[in-house]
Amino acid sequence: MPHFHDAELTGSVRVAGADPVAEDIAEAGRTSATVFQNPRTQFFTSDVAGELAFRDENYGLDPELIRARSARAAEQVGISHLLDRSLHQLSGGELQKVACAQAIAGGTDVLLLDEPTSNLSPGAIDEFTGLLGRLKAEGRTIVVAEHRLYFLRGLADRVVLLDGGRIVRRATGEEFFAIGEAERASLGLRTLHRPKTTGAEASGRRSSPERTRGGARQRTRLASPLTMSPSATGAARC
């Protein structure tokens, strides 16, 4: 909004100092990149290499630079072996990783991630946690909306609790992850500690989320730069 959907807008938003409402949407793409809850809805091409290159090709960047950026992003996310694959051949977890890689490839300062671990196995979530830490160390601003919370422990700098679209509570990451079990349960949030997993679950074998295409999922959510809500939608900032 308002580029694609008409709406009555109040208040203001700044992304890296810019007003995304006033500026051309193409310029916003130079500042931030996104990962959707369902990665299939954000892809524009049919193969992994093409998807990683798509953004930079639209900006007319040098092909050599595009290839280098794509290769680096693929290596960071651990999908270099998938570069010659069709998106239609990939599992849900692999598609999630491709979506993360395309967001990273553009080198934007701000990353907006909507449930980036939704299709990942416990082992893949551990790998993703390490990736977030490295991106944060590079100076990127990362905003995550998630149902799973435990993997953001030690990463989130700020947590904001939302109710009906309004901020009702703010906390540092340290304050948030120090809340007790009773308070966590009263807020409708998932565990703040890493759950115990079997070796098979950690590696993604059996019917882990990474191997599942679609299927019902619980609707408890957290967001991180981070941000969250009593309905359990949260946002956090790393």
**124-182 pLDDT per residue, tens:** 899 889 999 999 999 999 999 888 889 999 999 999 877 777 887 899 999 999 999 99
Q: What is the pLDDT of residue 210?
A: 39
Report how far Cα 78 is from the mean position of its chain's Cα atoms: 16
Q: What is the pLDDT of residue 6?
A: 82
Instruction: Say if residues 33 and 106 touch (Cβ distance below 8 Å).
Output: yes
Q: What is the pLDDT of residue 92?
A: 87
Spell out the residues 6+ positions from residue 212 whose beta carbon is closer than 8 angstroms to its own: 92, 119
Q: Looking at the predicted structure, is the pLDDT value of residue 78 above 70?
A: yes
Q: What is the pLDDT of residue 204?
A: 52
Distance CA 223, CA 167 (A): 13
pLDDT band (50, 70, 90) for residue 2: confident
Q: What is the pLDDT of residue 232?
A: 43
The dihedral built from the CA positions of residue 39, 212, 119 and 127, taken in this order, carries a sign that is negative
Q: What is the pLDDT of residue 218?
A: 36
Q: Looking at the predicted structure, is the pLDDT value of residue 52 above 80?
A: yes
Q: What is the pLDDT of residue 188?
A: 83
Q: How many residues does the chain have?
A: 238
Q: What is the pLDDT of residue 163?
A: 75
Amino acid at site 120: L
Q: Looking at the predicted structure, is the pLDDT value of residue 230 above 50?
A: no
Q: Looking at the predicted structure, is the pLDDT value of residue 205 above 70?
A: no
Mean pLDDT, the chain, integer:
83
Nearest to 93 by CA among 70, 65, 66, 126: 126
Q: What is the pLDDT of residue 227?
A: 43
Structure tokens at 24: 């051309």
Q: What is the pLDDT of residue 189?
A: 86
Q: What is the pLDDT of residue 142?
A: 95
Amino acid at site 126: D
Q: Looking at the predicted structure, is the pLDDT value of residue 196 above 60?
A: yes
pTM of the model: 0.79
Q: Looking at the predicted structure, is the pLDDT value of residue 187 above 90?
A: no
Q: What is the pLDDT of residue 105?
A: 95
Nearest to 133 by CA among 151, 107, 145: 151
Beta-sheet pairing, 234-237 with 166-172: unpaired
Average pLDDT over residues 10-25: 85
Q: What is the pLDDT of residue 154?
A: 94
Q: What is the pLDDT of residue 219?
A: 36
Q: What is the pLDDT of residue 10?
A: 84
